[in-house]
Structure 1
Amino acid sequence: MTVSRAEYCVIACADAWRGDGEVLAGPMGLIPSLGARLARLTFSPDLLLTDGEALLVRPDGTVEGWLPYRDHLALVTGGRRHVMMGASQLDRYGNQNISCIGDRSRPLRQLLGVRGAPVNTLNHPTSYWVPRHSPRVFVERVDMVCGIGYDRVPPGSAPFHRIPRVVTDLAVLDFATPDRSMRLASLHPGVTVEQVRAATGFPLAGGDDVPYTREPTAEELRIIREVLDPDGAREREVR
Structure 2
Amino acid sequence: MNGREPTRAEFCVVACAEAWRGDGAILAGPMALIPRLGARLAQLTFAPELLLSDGEATLEHGGTVEGWLPYRAVFQVVASGRRHAMMGASQLDRYGNQNISCIGDWSRPAAQLLGVRGAPGNTINHVVSYWVPRHSPRTFVERVDMVCGVGYDRAAALGTPANRFHEIRTVVTDLAVLDFATPDHGMRLRSVHPGVTAAEVVRATGFALAVPDDVPQTRLPTAEELALIRGRLDPDGLREKEIR
Q: TM-score range by the shorter chain?
A: over 0.9
Q: CA shift at 1:166, angstroms?
A: 0.2
Q: CA shift at 1:131, angstroms?
A: 0.2
Identify which of 202, 210, 230 aligns with 1:225: 230
* CA deviations over 1:73-98 (Å, ceiling 9, x no partner): 11101110000000000000000000
Query: Which amino acid is 1:77 matched to?
Result: A
Counterparts of 1:147 and 1:178, CA distance in 2: 21
**Aligned 8 A contact 1:184 1:205 in 2:** yes
Q: How many residues align?
A: 238
Q: CA shift at 1:220, angstroms?
A: 0.8
Identify which of 59, 63, 72 aligns with 2:62: 59
Identify which of 182, 185, 195 aligns with 2:187: 182
Query: Which amino acid is 1:128 matched to?
Result: Y
* CA deviations over 1:26-65 (Å, ceiling 9, x no partner): 00111000000000000000000002232112233x4222
Matches within 5 A, 1:153-164: 153-154=155-156, 155-156=159-160, 157-164=162-169
Task: Name the SS for the 2:167 alignment partner.
Answer: coil
Matches within 5 A, 1:1-239: 2-60=5-63, 62-154=64-156, 155-156=159-160, 157-239=162-244
Q: CA shift at 1:207, angstroms?
A: 2.8
TM-score with structure 2 length normalisation? 0.95
**Aligned 8 A contact 1:193 1:208 in 2:** no
Counterparts of 1:26 and 1:103, CA distance in 2: 30
Query: Which amino acid is 1:51 matched to?
Result: D
**Aligned 8 A contact 1:95 1:142 in 2:** yes
* CA deviations over 1:119-169 (Å, ceiling 9, x no partner): 000000000000000000000000000000000013433111101100000
Consecutive aligned runs of 4 or more in structure 1 exceeding 6 Å deviation: none
Query: Which amino acid is 2:27 matched to?
Result: L
Query: Which amino acid is 1:7 matched to?
Result: E
Instruction: Compare 113-122 and 208-217 and name the one that shifted more.
Output: 208-217
Counterparts of 1:106 and 1:44, CA distance in 2: 45
Q: CA shift at 1:208, angstroms?
A: 4.2
Task: Name the SS for the 1:35 alignment partner.
Answer: helix
Query: Which amino acid is 1:117 matched to?
Result: A
What is the root-mean-square deviation in Å for CA atoms of aligned residues? 1.1
**Aligned 8 A contact 1:49 1:59 in 2:** no
